[in-house]
Amino acid sequence: MEEINDFIKIIKEHIEYRQQLIKLAKADLVKTYRGAALGWSWAIIKPVVTIFVYWFAFEIGLRSGKDVNGYPFFLWLICGLIPWFYISDMLTVGTDAIRKYSYLVTKMKFPVSTIPTFVSMSKLSVNIMLTVIMLIIYILFGFMPDAYWLQLIFFIFLSFIIWTLWSLFSSLLAAISKDFGNLVKSFVTAVFWLSGILWNPETVKIAWLKKALQANPVTYIVNGYRNCLINKVWFWEQPKRLVYFAISTFVMLILALWAYRKVRKDIPDVL
């Protein structure tokens, strides 16, 4: 019953402060790139450099970059890295959200549950821009839009929900304990390499490991992008994976509500 009351309270806070959330998301974007000589260009330069490094390493260096379903390896690669850029931001920046904006809690009495949301909105807006650039690249390679591309909206929405919940959970705990935030950051690289972003999880032969990957929400989102643009698979054609993702989202919601109930009253004093 307490969880339901907390959930209703969080929803009400988001509705009440909806205009402030949009303004703060814009302010977070400005703050991220303010002071840099190239400004907003860094939102594109950093991902481009990362993509180039991985493409060069796999296709030129290791010579293991092969076409996938008739699509160049480069297109398969960016299809996995683009959603990961948002996920990695939420695993790191999202975990530090409340500490970064501690003054909203200590000086302005801003509802703590909404802070991870506007940070997530900020990071997602950049990721949507990168997704649009990715689609333009697909078109330049000669692959025209089709109905499957519309699913990207669905997977972007799912990604926003689960990683915003994660940010609420992790930033609450990180506000109380810096060790938790450092622990999360130490696992980001492991999550990247174990989630099938640079390799195809469908090639895994070990049954239990393959199921574990299918239950990994990072793998689901990345494969969702590739199903839209390369594999041409509708999300309802893989119902078990959708159920796994729904369970992961529900578990994340429970954890976020638990953390909210346990530590929100202590955060102003700790910060």
Shortest CA distance to 5 belongs to which of 94, 113, 95, 118?
113
Q: What is the CA radius of gyration of the chain?
A: 19
Shortest CA distance to 86 belongs to which of 31, 36, 43?
43
Q: For the chain, which ranges sit under pLDDT 70?
A: 1-3, 33-43, 59-65, 67, 269-271
* pTM as predicted: 0.91
| pLDDT at 248 (0 to 100) | 94
- Taking the chain, what is the end-to-end CA distance rounded to the nearest angstrom? 29
| pLDDT at 204 (0 to 100) | 75
DSSP 43-66: HHHHHHHHHHHHHIIIIIIS----
Half-sphere exposure of 4 toward its Cβ, with a 13 Å CA cutoff?
Answer: 1
| pLDDT at 17 (0 to 100) | 85
| pLDDT at 254 (0 to 100) | 93
Domain boundaries, the chain: 2-270
Distances from the Cα of 88 to the Cαs of 97, 141, 153, 232, in angstroms? 14, 27, 19, 26
Spatial separation of the C-alpha atoms in residues 232 and 235, rounded to whole Å? 10
Spatial separation of the C-alpha atoms in residues 196 and 235, rounded to whole Å? 18
| pLDDT at 33 (0 to 100) | 67
| pLDDT at 65 (0 to 100) | 59
DSSP 172-236: HHHHH-HHHHHHHHHHHHHHHHHTTSSS-GGG---HHHHHHHHT-HHHHHHHHHHIIIII---GG
Determine contact, residues 98/173, Cβ cutoff 8 Å.
Answer: no
Residue burial 6-28, b: 16+ Cβ < 10 Å; e: rest: bbebbeebeeebeeebeebbeeb
Torsion-angle region of 19 (φ positive above 0: left; ψ -120 to 50: alpha; else: beta) = alpha
Q: Which two tokens stand for residue 38?
A: 């190239």
pLDDT in tens, 117-176: 999 999 999 899 999 999 999 999 889 899 999 999 999 999 999 999 999 999 999 988
